Structure 1
Amino acid sequence: MKSSQQSGSFPYELKTFPSRLVDGELSPEIAPWIQAVAMGFHGDAPTPEISKRYVESEQIDGRMVTGAYLSHGTAPAGAWGAQYPVATYAYHRKTLNVGVGTLLPVHQITAVTVRPSHRRRGLLRAMMSSDLAQAKAAGIPIAALTASEATIYGRFGFGVATHESEVEITVKGGITFHNPAAAAHGTVEVADAIVVRDLHNEIFAQVHEATYGSIGRQDMYRLAASGQGNYGAMEPVKNIRAALHYNAAGAVDGYVTYKPVDDAARSVVEVVDLLATTGEAYLGLWNFLGSLDLIDVIKWDKAPLVDPLEWAMAAKRNYKRTASEDLLWLRILDVPAALAARDYRSEGSITIHVGDPLGHASGRFRIDVVHGKATVTRLAEDFSAPESEDTDGPLLDMGVAELSSLYLGGVSAQTLTKAGRVRELRPGAAAAFDALFSPAEAPHCLTSF
């Protein structure tokens, strides 16, 4: 266990330890930490048995957890004892697809809570600052999170990098495709949902490697996808169904799990999880969903912003996007390492200045792209020539949150310039930046954490 004692004006001690079982049982530290997280997210208080199942899954991910504890070790009579953290934080490390199958190590932050009675005392800043500094020191170039609230993490340098859509597809009478043959490759068969638990990791690994913007999934996903449990409800879902897609060779190359949901006005099925390793498997699974008897509408809350299904359907208006929300937030820690790792479609050079309130990504950088790869050079900050005369002068000025949003190309520098978040120091610089950073396809993340 790592512990850090703060100053007298900060009456808390930060303790970090692995989420794991000790001799098959919950450790004294992890049980109250889990209770604090459940309280922070308004979940049911988990029993020791449910907590053990959480930890069994989390130790597969190598999850590390942090708690902020009252340093004097006492609490008022009748209140939760000092063994319960007043704030929680956790991380695990997976990979991020940054183009052409390149999987970049990423530091994934989760389970962030602060007890209401201890807010506005610097707890989140203390935990976040310490953790990001350690991740940077460990050589991790990017941190990531999915946010339950939209206004918390920008001040720590996180920027929205991907979005997801909630969609409704009218399927009464089936889905008619522009090219029916494209949705008829391979076969689809019904399976027990529990089969997906064992197929998930292999299928997701292929999808992850092929999907720009995808981030690694935690072990709990194979349980959630198969209806075997999830945070807040570890009881199996009784009405979940599954179908598998088989390619021409008879190998499983995709699956969907789904369940009916209550709707007084119409019959609705909700997609729980859908993974397809090929475009043919993706359309084939939707062809199957469209063939479900007695169903009017299929709902899915993880659809990509640019969805091939929408353009495959002959009746495009039957595909309705009912909501769109940010999903993946990125936070660059090492500018040269992060920018050198991703793929580029055009060649050129540009110089940027990056501001970072925590100091990890601050500086002036020249980006030179040749044959799809970037060389990133850190430049001296103290240049004396006017920017109009200095060839190494910055063309764009931005914060690390803005650079993190631009990283995958989910938004353009020209858009952020018009939004007042990027400052163009030379005319045309934002367009030049976009020419380098524009991706071959829109980024899509399939993972919440």
Structure 2
Amino acid sequence: MPQSYEPAISRATRSFPYELRTFPVRRVDGKISPELSKWAEAVALGFHGDAMTEDALAFYIACEEVDGRMVTGAYLSDAQAPVGAWDAQYPVSTYAYHRKNLNVGAGTLMPVHQITAVTVRPSHRRRGLLRAMMDSDLAQAKAAGIPMAALTASEATIYGRFGFGVATHTSTIEVTVKGGLDFLVPAAASVGVVEIAPVGTVRDLHNEIFERVHATSYGSIGRHDMYRLAATGLGNYGAVEPLKNVRAALHYDASGAVDGYVTYKPSDDKNRSAVEIVDLLAVTDAAYLALWNYLGSLDLIDVITWDMAPVVDPLEWAIAAKRHYKRTATEDHLWLRILDTPGSLAAREYASDGSLVIHVGDPLGHASGIFRIEVVHGKATVTRCPEDGSVEAELSMGVSELSSLYLGGVTARVLLAAGRVREMRSGSVAVFDALFAAPESAHCMTSF
């Protein structure tokens, strides 16, 4: 069901000739408003997509309405567009959000504010548009009680200045499968049954399977409605027409229930016989290895590639020839931005008990302060301390650094060596790392 919509907001900022307008993605009496249509066209421009057709727009809006997506545009308010150019009803900058949740360990799914569709028209860059939209949106999310914001970035140097920090990575891998995959423990990769299925079956099962995987996967973030189509080649942003070469296979457990799937297609690389994984979800380790065992059995294929593999991958340690598993790239993926420091820190689980006082700097003011973290039986009580000099912080960092540390994707020891955290009391970095040690390597399976 769609989330409840927030009222439309109109804001004007005097420092530049733009008006920010925020409105929900929804149809009224089955029709799409010109305002929403022109906003979507501006997004397509920013991501070099095709010009928007009525069918494509209807396709996108139907999915985004399910997510309760809210969009913002920056519009010229004090100036006219030149004759012949897009008129002032097309936004010169775009921004959107929807809200899902983040797996922060111990079965806890924390509400998160997911930012997407960020563009600025080339002719209006460096005029403070992104900052105006980001500042306003993060303030509203904080006021709404959302403890964390998140995004996946198309560029790596933009979002640190807004307090975001890299929290997870993904790897692009190539697995040589010519002649089949040999497993060190063959029985571990032979649990259950894998069978070919129509991609439409996977589309219909996607949400259920993902929710089961998401509930047990540390670092996973909620998927938007378009994912069930993108995962099966049945549509995506910039690709409304279904792909005709996507195949699907389901994994059935011992009781005959589906607990995983893989979708895949032939690679565009003409220099080798390869298959690309489109999406792979497995509720259990056994299902994961069995799906890979199936991929290894594909005839006429030399290599399987995947650009969303976990950094710590059981497959690498399950196959007999480890050198057949190659990482060709590792890239930042999920970026987090703490908005409510006590709320975010109290939500996650901790590896050990202990206490520490940290100082957090935040130029936007949402997460800043001095905080005492006291962990008992793996759960934290986080108290804001007075900043009158009566309490001395033992460790100091910015909100970007704390956001990167949040899921354990990096240690405070590494950030200390990088000059990004400051230790005021000897040994405090070691205490922090002992508390924040991750239960497993965080992995996000979702781009947005």
What residue in structure 2 maps to residue 124 of structure 1? 130
Residue type at the aligned position of 1:5: A
Contact 1:216/1:447 (<8 A) preserved: yes
Shift of 1:10: 1.0
Residue type at the aligned position of 2:412: A
1-structure distance, mates of 2:123, 2:218: 41
Q: Secondary structure at the match of 1:85?
A: coil
1:308-362 per-residue CA deviation (whole Å, 9 max, x = no partner) reads 0001011111000000000000000000000000011200001100000100001
* Residues 297-316 of structure 1 aligned to structure 2 (within 5 Å): 297-316=303-322
What residue in structure 1 maps to residue 395 of structure 2? 396
What residue in structure 2 maps to residue 6 of structure 1? 13
Q: Secondary structure at the match of 2:265?
A: strand
Contact 2:17/2:79 (<8 A) preserved: no
1:211 to 214, 217, 229: 217
Contact 2:405/2:412 (<8 A) preserved: yes
Shift of 1:73: 6.4
Residue type at the aligned position of 1:194: G
Runs of 4+, deviation exceeding 6 Å: none
Q: Secondary structure at the match of 2:438?
A: coil
1:122-145 per-residue CA deviation (whole Å, 9 max, x = no partner) reads 110100000000000000000000
Contact 1:63/1:92 (<8 A) preserved: yes
* Residues 57-76 of structure 1 aligned to structure 2 (within 5 Å): 57-72=63-78, 74-76=80-82
2:359 to 353, 358, 378: 353
Shift of 1:101: 1.4
What residue in structure 1 maps to residue 415 of structure 2? 416
Percentage of matched positions with identical amino acids: 73
2:166 to 128, 146, 160: 160
What residue in structure 2 maps to residue 387 of structure 1? none
What residue in structure 1 maps to residue 3 of structure 2? none
1:85-109 per-residue CA deviation (whole Å, 9 max, x = no partner) reads 0000000000000001100000000
2-structure distance, mates of 1:262, 1:347: 51
Contact 1:21/1:52 (<8 A) preserved: no
* Residues 70-89 of structure 1 aligned to structure 2 (within 5 Å): 70-72=76-78, 74-89=80-95
2-structure distance, mates of 1:424, 1:313: 42
What residue in structure 1 maps to residue 439 of structure 2? 440
Q: Secondary structure at the match of 2:146?
A: coil
Shift of 1:63: 0.1
1:31 aligns with 2:37: yes
1-structure distance, mates of 2:406, 2:275: 35
Q: Secondary structure at the match of 2:34?
A: coil
1:228 to 229, 234, 246: 234
Q: Secondary structure at the match of 1:262?
A: coil
Q: Secondary structure at the match of 2:81?
A: coil
1:258 aligns with 2:257: no
Residue type at the aligned position of 1:284: A
What residue in structure 2 maps to residue 389 of structure 1? none
1:139-173 per-residue CA deviation (whole Å, 9 max, x = no partner) reads 00000000000010000000000000000000001
Structure 2, unaligned stretches of length 5 or more?
A: 1-7
1:44 to 42, 46, 50: 50
Q: Secondary structure at the match of 1:331?
A: strand
Q: Secondary structure at the match of 2:447?
A: coil
Shift of 1:72: 3.1
Shift of 1:395: 1.1
Q: Secondary structure at the match of 1:29?
A: helix
Residue type at the aligned position of 1:149: E
2-structure distance, mates of 1:241, 1:353: 51
1:372 aligns with 2:370: no
1-structure distance, mates of 2:364, 2:204: 42
2-structure distance, mates of 1:121, 1:57: 32
Residue type at the aligned position of 1:410: G
TM-score by length of 1: 0.97
2-structure distance, mates of 1:441, 1:87: 39
What residue in structure 1 maps to residue 327 of structure 2? 321
How many pairs were matched up? Answer: 441
* Residues 12-23 of structure 1 aligned to structure 2 (within 5 Å): 12-23=18-29
What residue in structure 2 maps to residue 388 of structure 1? none
Q: Secondary structure at the match of 1:26?
A: coil
TM-score by length of 2: 0.98
Shift of 1:22: 1.5
After TM superposition, the structure 1 stretch with the greater mean CA deviation from structure 2, 299-308 or 41-50, is 41-50
1-structure distance, mates of 2:234, 2:32: 21
2-structure distance, mates of 1:376, 1:70: 44
Contact 1:32/1:85 (<8 A) preserved: yes
Contact 2:276/2:305 (<8 A) preserved: yes
Q: Secondary structure at the match of 2:116?
A: strand
1:183-207 per-residue CA deviation (whole Å, 9 max, x = no partner) reads 1110000011111110000000000
